[in-house]
Structure 1
Amino acid sequence: MTKQLPPTAQAAVQAYIERHGAKPTVLARAPGRVNLIGEHTDYNDGFVLPAAIDRDTWVAAGPRSDGQVLAIALDEGKAEDHFELSEQAVHHPESGWRDHVRGTLAQLVPLAPLPQGMNLVIAGDVPMGAGLSSSASLAMALLRAAQALSGDDTLNGKQLARLAQQAENRFVGCQCGIMDQLTSAEGKPGHALLIDCRSLDTEPVSLPKGTTLLIAHSRVRRGLVDSAYNERREQCETAARAMGVPALRDATLEMLAATPMSDPVMRRARHIITENSRVLSATQALRSGDMQGLGELMAASHASMRDDFEITTPAIDQLASLLQNVVGNAGGARMTGGGFGGCVIALLPQALVPAAKAALEAGYRSPEGLPALVYLCEAGAGAEAIHMTATGTMEG
């Protein structure tokens, strides 16, 4: 199948040609993701129900022969990074996107044959700092690009997702779970993914026809490494140890009630235990077309994130309330992502989209007085590598 490149990919290809005087050998793309329900359960070996979205990071790539990597980020003003391709990655003084590139490629070095260096141009339309996994999208696109350049595809999507997670945990410094990377790796058009974060088993769950994923960005930018994200993970691990279980996935409310622990740690654990149950119930609601039931579960999830896990903000709470009032019994709305800002997801009928957008315009302003940014998305496909043709099209 041959099709025209989308504008973001075209921009990456054109920038590559301008910088190197030749077309890239391969293109790779990987989507962002939105989580319908199941927040912070992934690193507790639990269940999540995300969907890949039709917004991607693209990497135009070609080989080098000097063991070096030259990476250019179009979305950062064509900023560059030049470093040695090595398992022993060195942090860049400015960290940021450069550390994501360095740390991700370093994970692949000891496991797979790689070209002797590579040129990379990166461009994307996944909003950054919004809770839509722009970093996981970048990592998966980089890994697919490097794989395609080497001609070796022995590592599958799950294995690449693990490597991308390792880069976040070990190099970037964010103790995230596997959800973002695995969703970017294995997304399926028109479907959410029920993920068991212990076994990494995934089950596609069809989204009802005629529904839209409306994502409303609060314009409160998130920064997981600098936020309380890592603290929440430590509290969850403390609760699991207190109850004598490997992870909170194995705990029950009865065990929680019988185990002495501080109030904040207890509430963190209660969120995880109840959220895991809500994910499984929400999956059944989707499969049976019970949108009212799904909406009630999404509302309960938001309340738990607000009161027990304490990761919402007043701006996020307001967005969720505005959207839920419009959606009514036809769907649901809740905060999505790691928290402390970012976005709210609403799953709603397409017919309600104009009313939802009007409600947001009339009823919401960020702390700086700005309206919400609204993204209308569909569930998209997972990461892939694409070989360029002579005419500048792609073959998938």
Structure 2
Amino acid sequence: MASCGRNLVPISDFPTKNDRLDRLKQLFLETFGGYPKFVVRVPGRVNLIGEHIDYCGYGVCPMALQQDMLLAVSENNTRNIVLVNANKKYKKQVLEPAFSGCKSPEWEHYFLCGVRGVQEALPGDFQLKGMNIVADGNIPPSAGLSSSSALVSASALCTFYINGITPVKEDIADLCAKAERYIGTQGGGMDQAIAFLATDGCAKYIEFNPLRATDIKLPEGAVFVIAHSLAEKNKAASNDFNCRVVECRLAAQLLAKAKEVDWRNVKKLGDVHNMLGVDLVEMIQLVKSLLHEESYKKAEIAEILGISELEMEENSLTKNTEDVKTFKLRQRALHVFEEAERVRQFKAICEKTADVGTLRELGSLMYQSHESLRDLYEASHPQLDKIVDISRKFCYGCRLTGAGWGGCTVALVAPDKVEEYLNALKVEFYADLNVAALI
């Protein structure tokens, strides 16, 4: 059994000199009158390539960050969760563990997602212990670096551990991916997988169904710079993210119908791909030949599938996309299959002998990824595009990372160009915003 030991720090094993942990312990002492039993740490992540394809069933290439979510935890003698954040902008919460979702999620709801995921994994008569918790996160929120998933994952891990259960890494990663959907977004499993399966010194190629992770050793001389666009979007507060999930689902179902396979069992583009047994290049050609460029209306989709609009809504849409009138199916499907092919090429290139040519190949794929996310998936933002444009003078490649509509870019830079690139961003991007916000 693989444990989650790297994500857990018993209080007796605290580093002797760590200012952040010392402050966390002190805040816990001041709040609850004693020291925590243990601390949970879950890192943020940056996705190097493979955006908006994990929920379609395709592999991705993230790596963990130093920035993380810390939870200092001890049990209490109630059934409630007392949740305090080191950041005073978040109010103290006294919560019951039950959670059935919400329309306008706050930070504590992400914590409750993790608790609910654990509840559903345990026998129905299992009584969870109450917890006292102080949270301290330094992953920028709404930045595309997985701050919310880190909180969900940390929540689930501390709930298991306080109740005497040590889960298998792959199992808890899968559990957390499903649990976060209670917040309302129909995401994939990339963020949770890298949170538990990351290893030092490499990125990961993460595949799904079943979940598995393979080390990707990045070439020597590859430096990745993350820059915040300072445009923020709470993906759980809009339907943009779920609309893309639904458009991919509908595209998959229309492709399945056209190829005379059982579309009712198709939920992801990866499903129809597997049913047809062809390669990604052939899937790209099928999309181009079978799906038209104009947006599809509900009535047209229902007619093609041979069902009513109401049945289509019940089978394929989410609650917050039922009012969407038109869907761009060809564009979304093309991005997914082409991005999956870029991931395959990225992994293959990393396995070659590293040289400048290798870095240029990787960078080219990153630029292609951003252009596709901007044009086909419409998930970029003018401030992201501006950073990518600036990067072209200094970097091998650059792209948005995370869900998009704001957040961060990740750029592949040669070591001797890093300082020049950072200075260019300060002068050409951040100066206009009157800030200096490099991560």
Inter-partner Cα distance in structure 2 for 1:262 and 1:256: 10
Cα 1:319–1:110 shift into 2, 3 Å:
same
Q: Select 1:287's aligned residue among 351, 371, 387.
A: 351
SS in 1 for 2:290: coil
User: 1:254 pairs with 285, 307, 314, which one?
Assistant: 285
- Larger relative CO (CA 8 A, sep 6+): 1 or 2? 1
Match of 2:303?
none
Q: Does 295-304 or 240-249 show the bigger shift?
A: 240-249
Matching residue of 1:80: 92
C-alpha displacement of 1:92? 7.2
Q: Distance in 2 between the 1:9 and 1:185 partners?
A: 21
Give the 5 Å matches for 1:350-389: 350-365=415-430, 369-371=433-435, 373-375=437-439
Name the counterpart of 2:144: 131
Equivalent-residue separation in structure 1 for 2:37 and 2:128 (angstroms): 12
Aligned residue pair count: 367
- For the structure 1 residues 76 and 308, does the alpha-carbon distance in structure 2 shift closer, same or farther, using more than 3 Å as the test? farther
Match of 2:385 in 1: 317
TM-score by length of 1: 0.87
Structure 2 match to 1:28: 40
Instruction: Quote the Cα distance in structure 2 between the aligned partners of 1:118 and 1:44.
Output: 36
Displacement, 1:209? 3.9
TM-superposed deviation, 1:101: 1.1
DSSP-derived class of the 1:364 partner = helix
Residue 6 to residue 56, structure 1, CA distance change in 2 (3 Å)? farther
Letter in 2 for 1:199: P
Match of 1:146 in 2: 159
Comparing 102-111 with 57-66, greater Cα deviation is found at 102-111
The residue aligned with 1:381 is none
Q: Contact 2:78–2:129 (CA<8 Å) still a contact in 1?
A: yes
Find the counterpart in structure 2 of residue 278 from structure 1: 342
In 1, Cα distance between the equivalents of 2:100 and 2:76?
20
> For residue 374 of structure 1, what is the amino acid of its counterpart?
L
How many angstroms does 1:103 deviate by? 1.9
Contact 2:170 2:193 in 1 (8 A): yes
Aligned twin of 2:200 = 189
Please list, as runs of the form range in 1=range in 2, the aligned pairs for 1:29-108 lying within 5 A after superposition.
29-77=41-89, 79-85=91-97, 88-89=98-99, 95-108=105-118
Task: Decide whether the 8 Å contact of 1:216 with 1:372 is kept in 2.
Answer: no
Q: Would you tell me which structure has more strand in proportion to its own residues?
A: 1
Aligned equivalents of 1:127, 1:356: Cα separation in 2 = 21
CA-CA distance at 1:262 after TM superposition: 5.0
Distance across 2 between alignment mates of 1:79 and 1:266: 45
Is 1:223 aligned to residue 288 of structure 2?
Answer: no
| 8 A contact 2:129–2:163 mirrored in 1 | no
More displaced 10-residue stretch of structure 1: 224-233 or 202-211: 202-211
- SS of residue in 1 equivalent to 2:368: helix
Q: Distance in 1 between matches of 2:213 and 2:416?
A: 31
Unaligned runs of 5+ residues in structure 2 are 1-12, 257-262, 274-279, 295-327
Distance 1:2 1:143 in 2: 21
In the other structure, the counterpart of 2:213 is: 202
Q: How does 1:162-173 map to 2 (within 5 A)?
A: 162-169=174-181, 171-173=182-184
Alpha-carbon displacement from aligned partner over 1:235-262 (angstroms, at most 9, x marks no partner) = 1001000011733231601221231345
Distance 2:427 2:45 in 1: 27
Pair 1:273–1:68, CA change in 2 (3 A):
same
Aligned to 2:367: 299
Mapped contact 1:29–1:141 kept (Cα < 8 A): yes
- Percent same amino acid among aligned pairs? 27
User: What amino acid is aligned across from residue 248 of structure 1 in structure 2?
Assistant: L
- Once the two structures are TM-superposed, the CA of residue 351 in structure 1 deviates from its matched residue by 2.5
Corresponding residue SS for 1:374: coil
After the TM superposition, which of the residue ranges 337-346 and 8-17 deviates more from structure 2? 8-17
Letter in 2 for 1:150: N
Residue 413 of structure 2, aligned match among 348, 357, 360? 348
Query: How many angstroms apart in 2 are the aligned matches of 1:239 and 1:262?
Result: 12
CA contact (8 A) 2:112 2:155 kept: no
Alignment root-mean-square deviation, CA: 2.1
Match of 1:394 in 2: none
The CA deviation string for residues 89-140 of structure 1, in whole angstroms up to 9 with x for no partner, is 2557973101111121111024246752111110011111100000111112
What secondary structure sits across from 1:271 in the alignment? helix
Counterpart CA distance in 1 for 2:216 and 2:291 is 38
Task: Considering fraction of residues, name the structure with more helix.
Answer: 2
| Contact 1:114–1:147, Cα closer than 8 Å, also in 2 | no
Segments of structure 1 that go 5 or more residues without pairing to the other structure are: 376-396
In structure 2, give the amino acid aligned to 1:283: K
Contact 1:43–1:197 (CA<8 Å) still a contact in 2? no
What is the match of residue 117 of structure 1? Answer: 130
